């Protein structure tokens, strides 16, 4: 993840890094979900952005 705070979308739309607070924030915004929902989805289906989108019904 970059230090550029003006970027409001994930840099790698294929993978979710739940250890990066800025990336978690950006994914939550992009997927309209809470951090808790995002982390539960990643735990259930892995770090694939497509799989998490599908799991969340987005």
Question: Are 13 and 7 contacting, i.e. CB atoms less than 8 angstroms apart?
Answer: no
Rg (CA), the chain: 10
At 3 the pLDDT is 58
Name residues whose C-beta falls within 8 Å of residue 53's C-beta, 6 or more positions apart in sequence: 31
pTM exceeds 0.85: no
Map out the domains of the chain as residue ranges. Answer: 21-56
The predicted-structure confidence for 5-45, as pLDDT tens digits, reads as follows: 555 555 556 889 999 998 899 999 999 999 999 999 999 99
Enter the DSSP assignment of 8.
-
Torsion-angle region of residue 13: left (phi > 0), alpha (psi -120 to 50) or beta?
Answer: alpha
């Amino acid at each position: 993840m970059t230090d550029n705070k003006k970027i409001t979308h994930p840099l790698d739309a294929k993978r979710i890094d739940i250890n990066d607070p800025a990336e978690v924030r950006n994914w939550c915004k992009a997927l309209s979900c809470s951090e808790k929902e995002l982390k539960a989805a990643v735990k259930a289906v892995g770090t694939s952005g497509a799989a998490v989108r599908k799991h969340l019904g987005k």
